[in-house]
Chains A and B, each alone.
Chain A
Amino acid sequence: MKVTVTVNGAEYVRDVEPRLLLIHLLRDELGLTGSHWGCDTSNCGACVVWLDETPVKSCTVLAVMADGRQVMTVEGLGSSTSLDPVQQGFAQCHGLQCGFCTPGMMLTARWLLNRNPDPSAAEVREAISGQICRCTGYENIVRAVLWAAKNGGTG
């Protein structure tokens, strides 16, 4: 089935099986490997991307469901010359170690800050509560998001 998806502002047309998951369209068909493929059960949040206006777990969305919609992946955050404040926050506050959860965490952080430019630590924790990090104990991720809120906010 033919799908037309706009990813990070660029339109892609691909012929896919209806059963293809969005995460595999992004990684395997479009070569956008910034989104990570983790638990496959919508628990870990490594595959979080934006579908239209909100982050979703792309292991639990079919690529055909994204037909005619906008997707944003971590590759669409900031640019090669200017990092998004969220990316800067993760760098400043050591918000990652292995990096596996990071793309999903940053996309959720950007969504949170767009809606709530000055969140409390508890609100950050709530926002990322569907995403698992096995390195940081979350502490530095929360610091990174709060840093971004104070230093650039909506980016």
Chain B
Amino acid sequence: MQVPAQVEYEKATSVRHALTLLARYGSAARVLAGGHSLIPMMKLRLAQPEVLIDINGITDLCYVNLTGAQLRIGTLTRHAQLLESQIAGEHFAILHDAERVIADPIVRNWGTVGGSLCQADPSEDLSAAFAAMKATMVIQGPDGSREVSAREFHTGPYETVVGPAELLTEIKLPIRPGGGSGYQKVSRRTGDWPVGAAGAAVWLSGDTIADAGIGLTAVGATHFAAAEAEEYLRDRTATEQTLARAGDIAAENCRPVTDQRGPADYKRHLARELTTRALRLAVARARGQAA
């Protein structure tokens, strides 16, 4: 039988209230959103907070909306809500690709976008999707709000830049012309963590790749991104050969490790193949040739 250790509990009723509680308890506290990462970690004693600050009542943080040329996602948005959001799918097909393969429908009903990001598991899917989309994270703290890029958000496995007195409140995705995106994942069984996965976004100007974003997860990529491959793609023509070469570069620059999900060389193979497939899908979508 697995149960969490004894813990105190506070229910936050607003972002301001959550910040007051976080300021009071500091690093003794953990924010409880859906709990689908944190509660299992507490059962295993890998997380032992003294206080839980439950933010599930802050429904202000549950939204997916379009503001100007940005898609904004509140961090308490459940995975299922993001998957059901038509505007998210319309502008960023990668989000629906990724959400379809995150855990299972029941877990997605309660697990949250912000919770997944703040858990910062090195195999987490949305981290790669947001890295590919060059998202911006909005973090609120006692001194107001600050923004960091998705690529500065993670500081290591299970670590982020969100301080003990801070709360991740929003993810912003810029909408730019000529864009297409896609996500490709290989896992051992339905609903599992990836053995390897790649997300790609391209912004085309005619046949030229004006900009590209590549996110990788579970394969030891720095900041969940393949920066060298993105650099290679910029201003090149989107040919099959170019996309394959970007896959090679992505694979060369990640550092997968052998673990229970697979050997390092297989994961490197996946980094190459899935990067190329995700790019292919992103380009086809940018051209309006794929759903």
* Pair from one complex: yes
Is A19 within 8 A of B110, CB to CB? no
Contact residues in A for B109 (Cβ distance below 8 Å): 54-56
The chain B residue sitting closest to A53, CB to CB, is B109
Question: How many chain B residues touch A (Cβ–Cβ < 8 Å)?
Answer: 30
Which of A6-14, A76-84, A122-130 lies on the face that meets chain B? A122-130
Contact residues in A for B2 (Cβ distance below 8 Å): 40-41
Which residue of A62, A127, A131 contacts B35 across the interface (Cβ within 8 Å)? A62
The chain B residue sitting closest to A69, CB to CB, is B56
Min C-beta distance of B286 to chain A, whole Å: 28
**Contact A127/B7 with A60-B40, A64-B54 known, Cβ cut-off 8 Å:** no
Contact residues in B for A4 (Cβ distance below 8 Å): none
Which of B99-107, B136-144, B229-237, B258-266 lies on the face that meets chain A? B99-107
Contact residues in A for B36 (Cβ distance below 8 Å): 42, 57, 60
A5 at interface by CB-CB < 8 Å: no
Is B106 within 8 A of A45, CB to CB? yes
Contact residues in A for B3 (Cβ distance below 8 Å): 19-21, 24
Min C-beta distance of B34 to chain A, whole Å: 8
The chain A residue sitting closest to B78, CB to CB, is A54
A29 at interface by CB-CB < 8 Å: no
A135 at interface by CB-CB < 8 Å: no
A75 at interface by CB-CB < 8 Å: no
**CA of A61 to CA of B80 in the docked complex: distance in angstroms?**
17
Is A54 within 8 A of B110, CB to CB? yes
The chain B residue sitting closest to A54, CB to CB, is B109
Most buried by B among A48, A54, A60, A129: A60
**CA of A1 to CA of B52 in the docked complex: distance in angstroms?**
13
Contact residues in A for B56 (Cβ distance below 8 Å): 65
Contact residues in A for B107 (Cβ distance below 8 Å): 42, 57, 60, 130
Is B52 within 8 A of A18, CB to CB? yes
Is B106 within 8 A of A130, CB to CB? yes
Contact residues in A for B6 (Cβ distance below 8 Å): 17-19
**CA of A48 to CA of B110 in the docked complex: distance in angstroms?**
12
Most buried by A among B2, B56, B80, B110: B110
Min C-beta distance of B11 to chain A, whole Å: 7
Q: Which residues of B (2-37) have their CB < 8 Å from a CB of A? A: 2-9, 11, 32, 35-36
A88 at interface by CB-CB < 8 Å: no
Contact residues in B for A21 (Cβ distance below 8 Å): 3, 39
Q: Which residues of B (182-229) have their CB < 8 Å from a CB of A? A: 190-191
Min C-beta distance of A110 to chain B, whole Å: 13
Top 9 closest pairs, chain A to chain B, by CB: A130-B104, A18-B9, A54-B109, A19-B4, A40-B2, A130-B106, A56-B110, A129-B104, A60-B39
20 pairs of residues in contact across A and B, judged by CB atoms under 8 Å = A18-B7, A18-B8, A19-B5, A21-B39, A40-B2, A45-B106, A57-B36, A60-B35, A60-B39, A61-B35, A61-B110, A62-B32, A64-B9, A65-B54, A108-B105, A129-B104, A129-B190, A129-B191, A130-B104, A130-B106
Given contacts A60-B35, A130-B105, 20 further A-B contacts (CB under 8 A): A18-B52, A19-B3, A19-B7, A19-B42, A21-B3, A40-B2, A40-B43, A42-B107, A48-B106, A54-B109, A56-B106, A57-B110, A62-B32, A62-B35, A65-B32, A67-B11, A126-B105, A129-B105, A129-B191, A130-B191
| Residues of chain B whose beta carbon lies under 8 Å from any beta carbon of chain A | 1-9, 11, 32, 35-36, 39-40, 42-43, 52, 54, 56, 80, 103-107, 109-110, 190-191
